A and B are shown apart, each in its own frame.
Chain A
Amino acid sequence: GAVVSQHPSRVICKSGTSVKIECRSLDFQATTMFWYRQFPKQSLMLMATSNEGSKATYEQGVEKDKFLINHASLTLSTLTVTSAHPEDSSFYICSARDPTDGGGSPLHFGNGTRLTVT
């Protein structure tokens, strides 16, 4: 089945630094990828839709200058948390759908990245 790989799984950084998270579709091409954020014991909140070759679409309330998204190829999207602060600490999950899997195909998720900003 379709696999989405996310790296790193865990990262600790100092306040003010930037962190890049990679999301790769391993056996399919994804023109669109989705980035979610999940706080402890809460649901997944969609942050942005990453579009290959064009600008990402951000959900309301998400700062696009803080969460930079780049989708440079059909198999790779990156999320960069710029000038990270402790309130950015969270679990970030990427996902993608295999377009060849039919209209009802589900999202396939990466394993997530736990970001801790100290």
Chain B
Amino acid sequence: AQTVTQSQPEMSVQEAETVTLSCTYDTSESDYYLFWYKQPPSRQMILVIRQEAYKQQNATENRFSVNFQKAAKSFSLKISDSQLGDAAMYFCAYRNRDDKIIFGKGTRLHILP
């Protein structure tokens, strides 16, 4: 079975600075998808970024980018120019061939003004 590990329960970053959230996963599949979701206090799940495992190029969405290391099974999220609105719970997620999504335990990100 696949597992997703987020080793940082909480992180803080100064506004306008850069922060990296780590995520590792375990799988025997070769084709899969990875996602980062954001959950603000409203508890709405918001997609931040996605990565297809067959693509070597790291995905980028504005201030958000990933460092995808397939051999190491690592999928970290970098947030540049952090903003107060980025404060939320961030979940790393793995989607397997059965379409199920497995979430990590999450990292709570605090933005310091």
Same complex: yes
User: Which residues in A have some Cβ–Cβ distance to B below 8 Å?
Assistant: 32, 34, 38, 42-44, 46, 49, 91, 93, 95, 97, 103-104, 106-107, 109, 111-112
Do A44 and B91 touch across chains, with their CB atoms under 8 A apart? yes
Q: How far is the CB of B56 from chain A (nearest CB, A)?
A: 15
Do B101 and A34 touch across chains, with their CB atoms under 8 A apart? yes
Given A43-B106, A104-B33, A109 and B100 contact (CB-CB distance below 8 Å)? no
Q: With the chains together, A95 CA to B35 CA distance in Å?
A: 14
Using a Cβ–Cβ cut-off of 8 Å, how many residues does chain B contribute to the interface with A? 19
Residues of B within 8 Å of A49, CB to CB, are 99-100
Quick check: is B78 within 8 A (CB to CB) of the other chain?
Answer: no
Q: How far is the CB of A109 from chain B (nearest CB, A)?
A: 4
Q: With the chains together, A48 CA to B47 CA distance in Å?
A: 21
Residues of B within 8 Å of A112, CB to CB, are 43-44
Contact among A104, A109, A111 with B50 in the assembled complex (CB-CB below 8 Å): A104
Do A32 and B52 touch across chains, with their CB atoms under 8 A apart? no
Residues of A within 8 Å of B47, CB to CB, are 106
Using A44-B103, A93-B43 as known contacts, list a sample of 20 further A-B pairs with CB atoms less than 8 Å apart, ordered by residue number in A: A34-B100, A42-B106, A43-B91, A43-B106, A46-B100, A46-B101, A46-B102, A49-B99, A93-B45, A95-B101, A97-B99, A103-B52, A104-B50, A106-B33, A106-B35, A107-B35, A107-B45, A107-B95, A111-B43, A112-B43
Do B104 and A43 touch across chains, with their CB atoms under 8 A apart? yes
Q: How far is the CB of B7 from chain A (nearest CB, A)?
A: 14
Contact among B43, B100, B103 with A43 in the assembled complex (CB-CB below 8 Å): B103
Q: With the chains together, A32 CA to B95 CA distance in Å?
A: 14
Q: List 13 A-B contacts (CB under 8 A).
A: A32-B99, A34-B100, A43-B103, A43-B106, A93-B43, A95-B101, A103-B33, A104-B33, A107-B35, A107-B45, A107-B95, A109-B44, A111-B42
Residues of B within 8 Å of A109, CB to CB, are 44-45
Q: How far is the CB of B22 from chain A (nearest CB, A)?
A: 15
**Chain B 81-113 per-residue mask, 1 if CB under 8 angstroms from chain A, else 0:** 000000000010001000111111110000000
- Among A44, A95, A109, A111, max chain B CB count under 10 A is at A44
